[in-house]
Structures are given as C-alpha cells and as structure tokens.
A and B are shown apart, each in its own frame.
Chain A
C-alpha cells in the first residue's frame, strides 16, 4: 500500500477513459447489463402458480441496484478521485498464467500434476531456485495432501495419468 498515490493532480492530463474509476465502473456496468439481459430469459411462472414475485424479479432488482450504485460511485469519483495503484509486476501475470496452466492440466491430464506444475511455476518465479525446496513444494507437499485427503477424508480425486496409478 506504500506505493499508492492519488490520481488527483498527477493524472490531470489523462483522458477520462483511462481513469481506473471509469474502467472499473464500465466493467461492472457492462457485466451487470449482460446479466440483466439474461434475467429476461428466465422462465416465467404462470399466474396460477406465481405466489409473490417472479423468480427473475429479485435478481433484476439487485442488478439495477448494482448499476445505480456503480454510477453513483463513478460520479463521486469525479469529485474525489480514486487512489491510483502501481502497475502490476510480471510475477502477478505469471501467477495468473499458472492458474490457467492448472485448469488446463487438471482438466486434460491430471489434477495433482496441475497442482505440482502450478507450485513449481509460482515458487520458481517468486524467487526460489534451490532444487530441494522446489521438489518439496511441488512433489512432496502435494503428495502429503493427497494421502491425507485420500485416507483420512476418504476422498476420491478425479481420474488422471498420475491418480490412476494409485487407484489402479
């Protein structure tokens, strides 16, 4: 939080569209509007069965409320600008990418291989270079977790190239 500085004064030259308050508000409003559109596709209960309100009414009210409050936040931000955060470092994007790697590997190859790969990517790119620690964090610890969940909680993990070796 030390690297936070106010937009006020420093970013006067920036266009309105590049202000974080505008981008965040726009994202919220666009997503809410899409969801609001979907509420119109919900099935409608026939009047004879409808007691109280339709199933779509409550989410509609919530989404309209979110849009209205977001607009209000945006207009307030014109007077009191939001704090401007520093640019995100590469380590953030690598961590985010490792989530994608985890999803792909766990879906198509193996759940625990996904965990092991994510662990080694995160640990390495966050600065760990010692092989022993990398092995510990990516192989030994997930193995302990697997054995714990499998034996104590009786959990069955999704099939995959490694878990199938265990399950036979």
Chain B
C-alpha cells in the first residue's frame, strides 16, 4: 500500500500522457470498427511497441484495451452492430433507444456507466492484484500447473458457446504451443523439417490470423450487408432521473464485471451478458428490456468495462491472462522482457503502479473523448470495408513479418486466418485457442517439472492442499455447464 502514490506518476510524465492520448484515440477507433476491437488492434500494434520503453508499450496497450472496450458501444447504439463482441448486449437496448431519437442519451449512459465500471475495476486491480501476488509466493510448480488447469477449465464453464467446443479449442491452443524444440530435451516436435518452426509458432501470427484475417474472410461473406445508421446530434449526460434508475445497476454490474474479469475466460463479452441479464432480473420494469431500456445499456456497459481491470489481475499477479486482450498485453510484457508474477510486484512497483495509474487516466480520457468526439468516431464506420480490409491486411502482413522478419510467420498467419474463419463458422470460439497457446508452455512445463520433483509419482499432486483446491475447483468448473443445462431442462 506504500506504493499507492506511484499511481499518479504517469500524470507527471508528458511522454506517458502522449502515449495514453494516442492509445485512447486508437482504442476508440478500433472499438468503433466492427470486426476489429482491442484484441486484434493490440496484436497489430505490438510490433510498433518495440520502439517504446516497456512501460510506455504496456500503457499504450492498456489504453487501447480500456478505450476499445468502450468504443464498441458507439457502433452498437448507432448501427446495431457491436464494434466489439463485448458490446453485443449493448445493441439490445442501445439501438432501440437510438431509433426513438434518443441516441445521445443512450451514448451518454453508455459513456458514464463504462467509465464508472472501468474505474471501479482499476480500484479492484490496485487492491486485489498485490494480494493475489502475495498468495502466489506460496506457489511452486505443481500449484502453477493446477492453476493453469483451472484457468483452462473455466473456459468450459463461463466461456461463450458450447463448453465442449471451447475445451477442444483450448486443447488446440495448447497443442500449437508444443510445436518446436521441446524445452527440456531439445527434441523437435511437429516441425516437419521446417527450420523456422524449431523456435515454435509465434503468438502474433496466431492472434492476427485468428482475429484479423479470419474477420476479413467473414467480412468477405457480408459485402452486401446494409447498415441502418441512426443520426447522432450530440452525446447527452444522463439526467438525474436516469441516474436514479441506474445507479444500483451500474454498481452491481461493476462488481459482476470485475469478478468475471478476474476469471480466466472471455472477459468483457461474458461479463456484459451477465451484467445485462442481472440488470433485467433486478429491474422494476423488466418488460422494457429489448425496447430501449436505459438500465439495459448501463448494465451491459458497466460490466464489460469493469472486466478490463479485473482481467488484468491474474495477468499481472500470476501471468495467467484473464481475456484474449490481456493475452496480447501479456505477450507485450514478455517481448519487452517483463515477467509478470509475484516478483514483479516486489522488484518493479513503479512499473506496475504506472500501469494502474495509466488505466485510471485512460478511463477518464475516453470519457472526455467519447463525450465530445463520439460523433466523429461514429463517422469512422463510414469507411467502406472494400477499402478498410485491404489496408488492414497490409498492416497485418507487415506487422507479423516485422517481429522475426520471417515469411513463414506471414504464411502461418494466413493459415490461422482460414482455420479461425471455419472455427467461428461452426461455433468454435477462437479465444480459447489464444488462452491455450499462452498457457500451453506453463501447463506442460509445470507438469513435467512437477513430475521431476515427485519422481514420477502422479499421486503426490493430491498431497498438496492448494493443488487439491484448484483440482476441485476445476471439477466444479467442468460440471457447471452440466448443472446449468439440467437446471434449464427442469
């Protein structure tokens, strides 16, 4: 707690403020453009961060994360298409309210509830991440293995879509991480005689392929789609009456979002759906939901932005990503030589608190930019896909090539783009692949090192209380979808 003062350090660094400003603008643009969003945008910008120092690089990525999550609401409200998956629930009431001529009111509520949710989650991050990091001091290799397994099983219980398909996608992600030289024995695995693959499959080709290129293929199937745009005069701050109606919803959704964000899964998307459903359940007028309810917008937006800070908790404290975008941020940390985990809290508090402070400032910045600039950002959606996507392709290809200067990376990116397209087409989420890829090395590494410690005796895992706790939690996570289905059938 003695480091709390460091939170304000970014305010006194003009360089960080500039990075934050541009990160917020870039995040808003990415959030507004359907199909892009903070995950793809973060992956595209990752190579560019190599020109920055580690703190500026991570501050840029986190600003994109916070602003991008909010930016999705602008498109959701004005053209009934979520700019990001996390804004899907915002469409349900945002667009009907906009159609009634109250687009400004809807955007005002989305902006205010996003900022409150975002700031609440940063407060959770500031207080909870150091506690979790302290707890992680007790962790050895077996505990980290059990934790990673728990993280993967959470994909089944609270991820979007079919739990089994999520598990298949997660296992596929781990399988990708096994390509290359085995880290313990240097034996080649799945390299097929290609030299470039001995170093393994990079994170960037997979992320850019699964998100940007697969989205380009998806957009190629929608070229005749027509968007009905609602005109926006100006964003309006919510009235006293609106605040009275929504303050409980905003607080509840901020709590839900922060909690869901901490769990390793799909962060904002799931949080906003649960936040929306809970807002409806507790509302005095649930019949208004889907017809332009202001509570619906507040519930979804507070929750999805609250998930941003929540998802950073396991990312920074344990090195386990809480969402796809934090997986990109985690990669950013690693390529800049920063290893997340308990030691980071002890050795580089100024770095961590710099990130916390920057996230707070990013939330305030997107409030100002969103409030005064939503009309301008909304115009970005007018850029036709036939011009936008070839340009995104050029940046994707050059960005992917730039990290290792490897043409194989570019081809892998295209391959994963095609795989991602068909995965999404047949109901497999691509997010578990990313989380599996990030956790793969941790899962295998800690498993094999644990077995060395245990002299090959698997049963010794069960003699450690923390491991046992995580295994029980994993079993609960796996059985949760079955319980949910049974309850639904009953």
- B164–A118 contact, CB under 8 A? no
B229 at interface, CB cutoff 8 A: no
Looking at B278-286, B291-299, B382-390, the stretch in contact with chain A turns out to be: B382-390
Q: Which size class do B's interface residues fall under? A: 35 or more
Is B390 a contact of A118 with CB atoms below 8 Å? yes
Q: Say whether chain B's binding surface is mostly helix, strand, loop, or mixed.
A: helix
* B447 interfacial by beta-carbon distance below 8 Å: yes
In the complex, the answer to whether B444 meets A58 with C-beta atoms within 8 Å is: yes
Give complex CA distance A122, B425 in Å: 21
On whether the beta carbons of B221 and A89 are closer than 8 Å, the reply is yes
Cα distance A127–B164 in the bound complex, in angstroms = 39
Interface residues of A in 59-91 (CB under 8 A from B): 59, 62-63, 65-66, 69-70, 72-73, 76, 82-83, 85, 88-89, 91
Nearest chain A CB to B188 CB, angstrom units:
8
- A127 vs B418: C-alpha distance in the bound complex, in angstroms? 22
A106 touches which of B188, B405, B410 (Cβ 8 Å): B410
A52 interface residue per 8 A CB criterion:
yes
Candidates B48, B384, B394, B456; contact of A153 at CB < 8 Å:
B48
Q: Is the CB of B402 within 8 A of A99?
A: no
Chain A residues within 8 Å of B187, by CB: 42-43, 45, 55
Q: Are B395 and A145 in contact (CB under 8 A)?
A: yes
Choose one: B164, B385, B405; the contact of A126 (CB below 8 Å).
B385
Interface residue count on the A side (C-beta < 8 Å): 67
Contact A69 B171 (CB under 8 A): yes
Give chain B residues whose Cβ lies under 8 Å from the Cβ of A113: none
Known pairs A66-B168, A76-B164; A119 contacts B221 (CB<8 A): no
Q: How far is B177's CA from A59's CA once the two chains are assembled, in angstroms?
A: 10
- B residues with CB within 8 A of A: 47-48, 50-51, 162, 164-165, 167-168, 171-172, 174-175, 178, 182, 184-185, 187-190, 216-217, 220-221, 223, 384-387, 389-391, 393-395, 397-398, 401-402, 405, 407, 410-411, 414, 417-418, 422, 425-427, 444, 447-449, 451-452, 456
Give 18 A-B contacts (CB < 8 Å), ordered by A residue.
Answer: A24-B422, A42-B188, A42-B189, A53-B447, A58-B447, A69-B168, A73-B168, A82-B426, A88-B221, A92-B221, A99-B414, A102-B397, A103-B414, A111-B401, A111-B407, A122-B220, A122-B386, A156-B405
Binding site for B on A (CB under 8 A): 20, 24, 28, 35, 38-39, 42-43, 45, 49-53, 55-56, 58-59, 62-63, 65-66, 69-70, 72-73, 76, 82-83, 85, 88-89, 91-92, 94-96, 99, 102-103, 106-107, 111, 115, 118-120, 122-123, 126-128, 133, 136-138, 141-142, 145-146, 149, 152-153, 155-158
